[in-house]
């Protein structure tokens, strides 16, 4: 069976250290410790850029969410993993992204999920 390819956005890395959100931190840590090795996981220079510039407000305003989607689409990842519910990890954005991708000739479906979403699907055998 083919291993799913997962792209991690910056929020996933950030929640490894999120003491102010212990539930999401613990889910993310569990995902890294028990599930990460079962996937083909990648990040990009965009993630490294965001991590290096998170303390600079004007650099946080860049459209990096769109870059995460573009990278995930062009390199045909199965899943874009994010804790960013507002801009990425929600069904409405997933529908919009896949519709736009299809119009542009990118036919592979991209799933926008949280670590909990991935782990829940595993538990169901999907």
pLDDT in tens, 54-66: 665 555 555 889 9
Contacts (Cβ under 8 Å, ≥6 apart) of 4:
39, 40, 78, 79
The DSSP code sequence of 60-124 is: HTS-HHHHHHHHHHHTT-SEEE-S-TTTTSSHHHHHHHHHHHHHTT--S--EEE-HHHHHHHHHT
Q: What is the pLDDT of residue 120?
A: 83
* Number of compact structural domains in the chain: 1
Q: Which residues pair with 7 in a beta bridge?
A: 42, 80
What pTM did the predictor assign? 0.87
Q: pLDDT digits over 23-64, tens only?
A: 999 999 999 999 999 999 999 998 988 878 766 555 555 588
Q: What is the pLDDT of residue 63?
A: 83
Provide the residue range defining the domain that includes 85: 5-123
Rg of the chain on CA atoms, in Å: 14
Q: 126 falls in which pLDDT band (50, 70, 90)? A: low
């Amino acid at each position: 069976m083919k291993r799913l390819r997962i792209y991690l956005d910056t929020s996933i890395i950030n929640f490894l250290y999120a003491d102010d959100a212990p539930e999401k931190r613990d889910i993310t840590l569990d995902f890294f410790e028990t599930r990460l090795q079962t996937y083909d996981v990648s990040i990009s220079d965009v993630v490294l850029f965001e991590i290096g510039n998170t303390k600079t407000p004007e650099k946080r305003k860049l459209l990096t969410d769109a870059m995460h989607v573009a990278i995930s689409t062009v390199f045909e990842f199965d899943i874009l993993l994010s804790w960013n519910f507002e801009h990425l990890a929600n069904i409405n954005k997933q529908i919009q992204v896949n519709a736009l991708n299809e119009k542009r000739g990118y036919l592979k479906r991209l799933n926008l999920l949280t670590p909990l979403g991935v782990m829940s699907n595993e538990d169901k055998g999907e």
